Structure 1
Amino acid sequence: MNEILHILPDSIKHVVASIEGEVVERIEEIRIRINQPLEIVSGGRPIAPSSVNHRYMVTAEDGIQLMNKLSQYSLYAFEEEMRRGYITIKGGHRVGLAGKVITEKGQVKVIRDVSSFNIRIARQKIGISEPIAPILYNKKWLNTLIIGPPQAGKTTLLRDLARVASCGLSNKSINSSKVGIVDERSEIAGCIKGVPQHSLGPRVDVLDSCPKAEGIMMMIRSLSPEIIFVDEIGRTEDSAAILEALNAGVQMIMTAHGYDIENVLKRPSLRQLVEVDLFERYVVMDRSKGHHRIKRILDSNLNPINEIIKEQMLR
């Protein structure tokens, strides 16, 4: 939490630093809304921490201090990040922003008068993908779609799979591969000035803040990856780029929002990829009592694979 405490206004820092035990260990978000109670999300539950026996109310001064620290006292230097609606800080944590949106020719130019901040805590969970990695690998990585609702742990699992692909697992006969990551929202690698803040191994190239479709094509043309990782596919242009990558002989592991495979099939762009038998594995995830878990893994014919424990918790 040190990187988080460093950017918080002093008054909020003291409140957050006073939280102890399992609650602080499982903090996922710190939501700071001007003139509203401070909110901590821990283990999937919202908590309103107290200051001197009262719920802490966020002030306008808190917002100014936080914005100054996030932008290092230069909003102009962070205009591009603010246009996207978030700023990535040291440690790979991401701060979402909301406020008055300024547009130009129908496009978002910048967010002014920021009134809401959502600090999402990035916790790398090294090793969580290793039990299932052999199921997704057969002399090479198999094209895989990870499915789950928001905050089910899809990106956390994807990040660790990228690390395993880069490093290899000699004890499970998984060779090291050249890995490309197209990180449109800086969530997989958590780059600061292009440098990943997470441990991803020695053979990883990252295109940070790059749209997925364009990034996939850039990777193929210039970086010769053996496998590409992308988060939250779903647009028509994403599907076209994915098909191009596969035609170029590049394997892919990606995530998509959905509660089950049936939910994914309702989205035309994803249904197209399923119907052409693109995916060789489907990993279905959900969240139970604040824990991420893998519900099941399916093969290309959507049949369950029995090698996996029915429900594996990813704590």
Structure 2
Amino acid sequence: MKQIIRLFPEHYAPLLRKQVNWDITQEIRLRVNKALEVVDGNGVKTIANGVISSSDLSFVLNQVSQFSVYKFKEEMKEGFITIEGGHRIGLAGKANVNNSVVETLKNITFMNIRVAHDHIDNAKEIIPYLFKERKWLSTLIIGPPHSGKTTVLRNISRWIGCDNNFSQGAKVCIVDERSELAACREGIPQMNVGNRTDVMDSCPKAVGMMMMIRSMSPEVLIVDEIGGMEDASAVKEAVHTGVQVICSVHGQDLSTVKRRKDVGHLLEDEVFDRYVILERLKANSSYYLTVLDRQGKQIAQVKGEGNDGMVRGPNRLSRHNMGRF
């Protein structure tokens, strides 16, 4: 993870190389006068001899902002900056607020580096179940925090937006409100989201969905973590225009999402043709992606991370039955 290591003063480089398992690291947290903290699939640990001084954190901020905090003023209002490689740097300190709107951040003394992992085949085995009668199906990805929802959506975008074994690449539009799906930097996606994929970055989901429908004529619209009545209404309106919507939401299963006042009605109205239920990711442990049809009946269950094979389900996965469920 050279993009991250280069952000730190030189004496941190050997510590980060030796004490951090970059394959499973999720976050690196910096707090002035506290030890550098690493969050990974095994839990939380601190870096030995890695107490962050005020000058250390200032050094990292200068590297992140390319020595021009003003250049990233708008991003900083949202509390983060996206760097090369799609890594997202969360910022906290003193907020200058005017009429309930954050104008700028100053005295930044806390940082959270969210490490981006680009797993090519994360969604490979569920793709055939999202395609039927020569079209993609509107799909809701459901999972708790740290279940890989964003990664699955990103990889779905990649597969749909490129030619594959059973379909030509479709016109895909991503509305990336939090700059996590495509991780755009200066307008250019840092993540591979597909050859035919267009991105509206840092735009509220409800507004962005309608903008993309009007301006980019997508076949498939992808958004991350819908929440609130406005997002739900935009999803329903998009589906009614004939666009297939693939999005995610926080939840443990169908029942927990149905109970939500903001998005539950989308399930009651059967807006989605497919549901994909994710489990919380755990280090050195397989997890499963369960595919359900419109009525909530299980179609298949496949292994994620580290094993792309079918593990159980009523249908055998092959090129011969792709998209026929």
Same fold by TM-score greater than 0.5: yes
Residue in 2 aligned with 1:189? 182
Residue 313 (structure 1) aligned to one of 284, 293, 304: 304
Q: Is 1:199 paired with 2:192?
A: yes
Gaps of 5+ in 1: none
Q: 2:144 pairs with 120, 139, 149, which one? A: 149
Which residue identity does 1:63 align to in structure 2? L
The aligned amino acid for 1:24 is W
Say which SS state the counterpart of residue 55 (structure 2) adopts.
Answer: helix
Alpha-carbon shift at residue 145 of structure 1 (Å): 0.6
- Which whole-Å CA distance do the structure 2 matches of 1:144 and 1:44 have between them? 31
1:288, CA displacement in angstroms? 4.6
Aligned-partner SS, 1:221: helix
Counterpart Cα distance in 1 of 2:43 and 2:159: 31
Residue deviations 1:248-289, cap 9 Å, x none?
110011011112222212211211111111011111112253
| Distance (Å, rounded) in 2 between the aligned partners of 1:285 and 1:209 | 26
1:1-315 alignment to 2 at 5 Å? 1-19=1-19, 23-51=21-49, 56-138=50-132, 139-170=134-165, 173-290=166-283, 293-305=287-299, 307-309=300-302, 312-315=303-306
Amino acid at match of 2:235: I
Amino acid at match of 1:59: S
Question: Aligned letter for 1:187?
Answer: E
23-32 vs 150-159, which deviates more?
A: 23-32
Say whether the 8 Å CA contact 1:286–1:292 is kept in structure 2.
no
**Unmatched runs of 5 consecutive residues or more in structure 2:** 307-325
Go from structure 1 to structure 2 and tell me whether the alpha carbon gap of 1:292 and 1:119 turns closer, same or farther (over 3 Å shift): farther
Residue 84 (structure 1) shift:
0.2
What CA deviation, in whole Å up to 9, does each residue of 1:96-145 have, x standing for no partner?
Answer: 11111111111111221111111011111112211110011112111111
What is the rounded CA distance, in whole Å, between the counterparts of 1:41 and 1:212 in structure 2?
29
- Distance (Å, rounded) in 1 between the aligned partners of 2:193 and 2:264: 31
8 Å Cα contact 1:134-1:174 kept in structure 2? no
Deviation of the 1:10 alpha carbon: 2.6
Letter in 2 for 1:201: G
Q: CA deviation at 1:208?
A: 0.7
Q: How far, CA to CA, are the matches of 2:72 and 2:33 in structure 1?
A: 25
3-state SS of the aligned residue for 1:287? coil
Structure 1 Cα separation of the partners of residues 170 and 31 of structure 2: 44
SS class of match (2:234) = helix
- Pairwise CA distance, 1:295: 4.3
Report the structure, 1 or 2, having the larger helix content. Answer: 1
Cα distance in 2, alignment partners of residues 45 and 141 from structure 1: 38
Q: Hey, what's the Cα distance between the residues in 2 that align with 1:270 and 1:113? A: 38
Query: Do the aligned residues in 1 keep the contact of 2:126 with 2:291 (CA within 8 Å)?
Result: no
TM-score by length of 1: 0.92
Q: Is the 8 A contact 1:152 1:293 kept in 2?
A: no
Aligned equivalents of 1:209, 1:69: Cα separation in 2:
22
- Residue aligned with 1:116, SS: strand
> For this pair of structures, how many residues does the alignment match?
304
Give the SS at the match of 1:25: coil
| Partner SS for 2:222 | strand
Distance 2:122 2:14 in 1: 33
CA RMSD, 1 decimal:
1.5
